[in-house]
Structure 1
């Protein structure tokens, strides 16, 4: 690339020995020109003959370890052979940077002194020596307070060096930029709004350094502002007033409450110590202890409801700052009466014997209950311990009626043991019980029942009069006279003979007897009814059908009725010897 820059030429002529002409030729080029770029045409600028220059020895003496430039003998041009980095060539940050070189031409000897000015281009971005800047700022710092920040460095010079700084958006900070005597830009972080560590403990900011080049280059560093706590928050309890209960006779050491105060500060400014204030009575401090570190209030002595019913404590939480702040609360403890009396049952009236047909809703007993405790401990409920055909009707707070709820049946349940349980509403509840016995009296509500509705009884003829034929027994589940049965044969006539003349039954046990001897050849069966009747008032009865079957016996001798003979049954017939088999004789 052969871009010719503007050549600034100052020439001074001096006459020296040996007719050598000495002069200083100055050029200016930007840094970072590409290799092969033409700086100047020395032949034209120095008045050299191009045609004779090729036969003369030409030497370029550069006062630097790196050969940046060379002379083309054919064209007389000074060209770039190595990129020139101004910041590497001139390590000190100055606005001027020169590369000195001598052009030496033999035959005749001529020496030309050349100064090449290297101008800066914006090839370097600003950078901070530390990428992260950490600041500790007290939250009590006043707006307007300044905090010095390290400035950014840019090896470029002039307009290409650091021109300004910019801070990321913040409600509490901005930056103030000022220049040093050498033009260096310095920056301070300025507090614009009061800090609150409890609201925001760390502020993360970005500081950007911007140079004046076109286009501009930038460099950034992060700023971490840690807000240091000051004791600006007093401890606070969760509640200003606490109300709670404790049972009397609670053992020593029983935890009443664990107070919890919080302090929005940190460190020792948030470490709290709990204590009773002077408003807390000595009696209360004798009965309760307060742990200064945990805020736990516990029973210290025996608490008696009858001695004191309410305790009031004033508690302070103080932080451990050199200049401490404190918060207060009030704790009111109400002593609960212990449920130490059992409820009682008193039977005021009792019908322990009732008839089984007693009407539903009838009163069996009047029961009174009581409890010497107060409040819920003295309120009681009465109930039965199992499901029975009775129910309790509460007629007043302490009086109950025991009533019949369903029809009773003595034959199913002859006796009830009713356990009444009285329980108070204490916690834990206390209870007592009382058992009463109710016996049911029998009523004649069941008729006698025979096991069968029809009896068939076989009787062999020629039986002896008075023979037991069968026992017909009925059952009655009632008691006493209601259970005592009498048996009857229901009267009827058979062949003009009363049934009671043929059969009899024992009225007490139902044994059935034959009153005469039966002849199968005369009567073969009898059908009649037997009744069983209890002795209740009015009596109940039932009957059963009895079928007597006369069984035949071989009790009759065969008789020849023809031919008939008056003096016996022997009949003589004479037959011939030659009579054949099968011949009818008589």
Structure 2
């Protein structure tokens, strides 16, 4: 059998035509008048609107009759191929006319029409002849014919071939066949009852299977049109032995359809083939063709005895929309003969595939400062289903910083639509939902990871804006002081931090000469040993800088507090050991009573806190029963009245110890000479104060000059401190003079250091502490008229004490009072040795967070001439 492409079967049964004609015949008997018949002839395939003829003129009707008498045309074929132009009375083509569809292979194709007019009622029969045009080529049902011919076949044996089909008629129909040139076969024709010639192969030369087992021929069918069209079919002849009848199927090609969700075991079709031979040569077995693909064999199954085909596997419209299956029917003869047919099975689609999202390009990392509209990835959507089942819509979740921008058919761009922040989200998992338009919509989701690359938009941040570091003095150079730490929210190089110390001054020396910082980990090391007595506190600015481009940085302040160690022994400031060595000579009257103040040993300790708490102890004495030393004030007093038996020369060894660990101590030797008739120094001072002295004018001049110098220095100091404080407040946001930043110093405990200045004629005491904050205040000093001694009185009144009352008490002492440290003032009174006048002096008080010493301060006698 031959197949040469799709064939259109467009025949209308003659039985149907006969019934329609009979009906119209009875209908026409009802009309009162039957007119004559008009005939037109037109070619097929005319365009719509083409004029067939002037129907009104041919029927003898006027144009007005068409409207008033309601002229209408009815087709006996049922299809309305023609209509009447009411304006012109012309019969025009109303639809495409295919002669082969109307009349098939009939030589004559006439369309009968019934024209009906009313008032009076009349009917006219007209005929339209449809002429054939050469619009079809000869066509074989199959493209290849396989023949098995026994080699014993006698010469002249004819083998019928499949006829070609040409829907055209007349001269345009099939006219002849031709056979390719060969040595064994010729082509002859056999006339049939319907007048068609059937081509036959005629054996012209004996076959020899051993010499040539296969013969390939080409059969060509030609029509008589102008131009001539043709169709071809390949003939493959296999030379075999015996069995001269082939099984023949009822039809050459079968066509069925199944839904793709059909279950296994679904019946497809039953095929039937017959064989004219008898016995085994006539028994037929069915099978799929030898070249049937494996996917067909795994999907369908054929019963070799009955020819029934059932569904064996699963149908999938998206994989195979149609199956073309070759079926063979073989007899049981020797050699066996076989016949062929083809089954076309079409698969009907259902919405069984969810849409698929395909990444056309992988998503690129996006900078966190990328502008809106930056393309991240290219995406396409597809659905293997057809029609509405294959239409896909994409959707993104709400509040996503991305959006989908269509580019062309089912292709999209994933672009940014808002600001990005890597520190909040370093990676986005963008979920895209695809939904089809099927009656029961299916959907799928795909997550696309989008990485956000870092931009250096965050500076390093210290764990705290300022650090307090407490460091013991006399430490080993190179030891670690502290480790600062900063973090950066950025990533990679943008988050790598290096530490450095900003250039600043500590006591007019660069801070880098005091400390060193490890740039990698922020560890701060000392460059040398610190001495608390020289430097008590300093601050440095540490900078953390990242390695981004451009780099960002931040600063932190490190306050370094030097903690005191007990590395200084108490220093005796009275009696002055510098001038007289460790021996001090004092005089006292023999008439002294118990409790008489002989002298007062005064010492200071450069240390602070407990290390500076000083206690006095009588270590050795000529007569230990005569003198006693106050543990806290250093006052040397008589324990009893002096007797005549006491030696006139007494020697005391006084030990001065601090409260540190380990204890530091020093000693001073006091030599006391007991004399008769010696008066109290203070009485002499008061008596001599009234007497004029020759030195009065000279001392007054010195006093005026000293006061002026001190005033100028105080003013300059105040200005310098104010400028430094303002600069410090601008750079670090704090000022040493601000009360809010000095909360650490509100503790009422204080530690005072007393230093006696012996330069010039004016003697003054500087009261020192160990803290950062200092204040300057001015008091009056009174000089004693005594030639050899001057007394200064250190008084600690409460905050409500009247200064006038204090000044009037020149020789008052507080031997056993308790020192309180509630924001109080210290007053220094110096007595002029010449005239007893009072002058203001400056002293400094420095607050310290240390417990108070368990002692009181009292009057200290200072040797004006020798100290």
Give the shorter-chain TM-score range: 0.3 to 0.5
Larger Rg: 1
Q: Given the two structures, how large is their TM-score scaled by the length of structure 1?
A: 0.47
Q: Given the two structures, how large is their TM-score scaled by the length of structure 2?
A: 0.34
